[in-house]
Structure 1
């Protein structure tokens, strides 16, 4: 009886032992597979520094953007359906430059030295180009096109480049004088650049529309560039 019964001191020692004291002696077997990946693939510091543009100078940033705009100008002058640079790397710097330059060239020179006659014309050209581009973009989206809003604005804005060239040629021809032959030459130049703008824009935008609605998407583009071409053809200094 004395051996079977534990003394009060032994009972207190047993009850004071931790509940999970035996778990510290348990070791994980090497045969048990452990699933999961604890290594995180990351780029090296040199690669991050090369791809980062935060450390470049302002001159490098401006030159990089100007080169990108120049490449897009070349894609408009030589449009190809397989080239989606205007859609992939879109920007609005080129359309803004073309819109401002066209509006400035369409300004009439004031005889009495006042600038009041030129300001509404600049605003008119600026609003017509941007409002027309936004309207065509919304029409494309409503027809089910898979092109984003700013991608469409980028393409329509960059494709004004041939009309800018037509406006520059017409300004030079108007310096020589006005007449029927001069008008016919300007008409031919404007029609050629108008066709160039339509073809360049449709080369990038036609594939983004449903097959049975391409005509509905191209028709507003035709009207948009026709209005701009008419403003160029009817311009008189």
Structure 2
């Protein structure tokens, strides 16, 4: 078996020109052999059977690499088109499986959704900032009043109790305030998702309407031409 393994590895290395790739294919080959070795009835034909499995594994590897190279080429081509705005032709994009108009519409849809989300984020930030300012102004005034001796100047215990009560009120208000801010943020996030979904749905409806209109116009033209 060691001799067979070495022969197969040398065969793959020659075909692929790369020992690392040859090792990967050889690994896939052994996985297939272990999964199907029970199908071999004649042990004398084992090597020939393993050879066929190896060739099949190599063909599968070639196909996978070909698809990967095609995907990479299409991705880099599309990226260059989006960055430079230069395509060889619309027909070239069509044959590559890329619809330039659909890509542009998708990009514009994303821009509109981002614009709506940004506006909502600014509105929410303003509301949170205003709420924090009001809260701090009120609580600072209450704490200042609690630490003024006033009528309790001669009674340290009463002054301490008033200060302790002010602290308790402050902590309770802080907890409530944090809860309110969390609720505002949650509603904001829900609103962002809703706005983005609505914008996307609107774009889809508009595209569908335009498509139906184009189809109706084409059908009407064909009918008119047939009557003539």
TM-score, length-normalised on structure 1?
Answer: 0.28
| Higher RCO structure, 1 or 2 (CA under 8 Å, sep 6+) | 1
Larger proportion of helix: 2
